[in-house]
């Protein structure tokens, strides 16, 4: 529940690589949140943005110190939920597999396949917790996906509607053979942080959708011999610059 002296939250945003703070957030305050699952990636920053009360959390920490497989996804979602968040947008850097998902393209995926391993993927993973088998046929909240697409349209930002996000373990990038297999499986995008974030949000009954920012063509999909981290961050910076415009146009 929200703290009694705080306005209820309209939106929570989890920033990925390249998005470590929320530009334009006014009256910002920071809040450390204790969770039963250990520490979140950092303080949650609360503030006002485009007539919305927003909570922001940098998934990898504000200095990008947490690799994807070491992010405490359970603590992050729990922290946002305990501050009163009901609607969460995850911003995720990805590689593009599908031909029309090249660098700087922004995608609102509608499906995912999980290739990660060794991550804690459920709040049931605690001695004595009730075992639940939640429905995950549609891993993203369709109403929120629609809101993101409409907001992007209203803001004049081009986004692709739908696509399958393949979540890999990282932190290394994939081999060409791995990406070829993912393509055969039906993946359009590849990223390292989409899971278990999406399923934990569902377990907490949060509305959740993903804004996937394409940083590079995935291994073997573009004409590059090698993927450089400089290239990734340059493209990410350009795509990230569009994110506040999209979120500003989201309804409160
Ligand atoms: N693979 C996995 N995750 C990524 C990539 C990639 O090529 N680019 C940005 N995040």
How much distance in Å is there from the Cα of 95 to the middle of ligand 1?
A: 4
What 152-159 contacts at long range (C-beta under 8 Å, 24+ apart), as own/partner pairs, is: 152/106, 152/108, 152/246, 152/249, 154/249, 155/242, 155/245, 155/246, 155/248, 155/249, 156/245, 157/106, 157/242, 157/245, 157/246, 158/105, 158/106, 159/106, 159/107, 159/108, 159/211, 159/246
The verdict on pTM exceeding 0.80 is yes
pLDDT tens, residue order, the chain (252 aa): 444 346 799 999 999 998 999 999 999 999 999 999 999 999 999 999 999 999 999 999 999 899 999 999 999 999 999 999 999 999 999 999 999 999 999 999 999 999 999 999 999 988 888 899 999 999 999 999 999 999 999 999 999 999 999 999 999 999 999 999 999 999 999 999 999 999 999 999 999 999 999 999 999 999 888 999 999 999 999 999 999 999 999 998
CB 30 within 8 A of CB 6: no
How much distance in Å is there from the Cα of 48 to the middle of ligand 1?
A: 31
Residue with tokens 């391993």: 117
**Domains defined along the chain, listed by start:** 11-123+136-249 (3.40.50.1580)
Q: Is 221 in the pocket of ligand 1 (CB under 6 A)?
A: no
Q: Is 168 helix (H, G, I), strand (E, B) or coil?
A: coil
Which residue's CA is the closest to the ligand 1 atom numbered 8? Answer: 95
- As for the ipTM of the complex, it is 0.99
């Amino acid at each position: 529940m929200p703290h009694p002296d705080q306005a209820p939250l309209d939106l929570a945003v989890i920033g990925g690589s390249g998005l470590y703070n929320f530009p334009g957030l006014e009256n910002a305050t920071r809040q450390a949140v204790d969770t039963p699952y250990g520490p979140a990636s950092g303080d949650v920053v609360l503030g006002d943005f485009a007539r919305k009360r927003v909570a922001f959390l940098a998934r990898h920490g504000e200095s990008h110190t947490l690799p994807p497989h070491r992010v405490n996804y359970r603590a992050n979602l729990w922290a946002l939920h305990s501050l009163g968040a009901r609607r969460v947008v995850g911003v995720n850097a990805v590689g593009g597999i599908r031909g029309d998902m090249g660098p700087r393209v922004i995608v609102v995926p509608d499906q995912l396949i999980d290739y990660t391993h060794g991550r804690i993927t459920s709040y049931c993973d605690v001695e004595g917790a009730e075992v639940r088998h939640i429905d995950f046929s549609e891993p993203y909240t369709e109403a929120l996906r629609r809101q993101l697409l409409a907001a992007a349209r209203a803001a004049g930002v081009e986004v692709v509607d739908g696509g399958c996000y393949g979540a890999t373990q990282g932190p290394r990038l994939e081999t060409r053979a791995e990406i070829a297999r993912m393509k055969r499986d039906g993946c359009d995008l590849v990223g390292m942080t989409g899971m278990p974030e999406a399923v934990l949000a569902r377990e907490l009954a949060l509305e959740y959708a993903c804004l996937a920012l394409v940083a590079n063509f995935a291994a073997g999909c573009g004409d590059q011999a090698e993927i450089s981290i400089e290239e990734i961050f340059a493209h990410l910076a350009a795509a990230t610059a569009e994110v506040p415009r999209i979120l500003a146009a989201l309804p409160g």
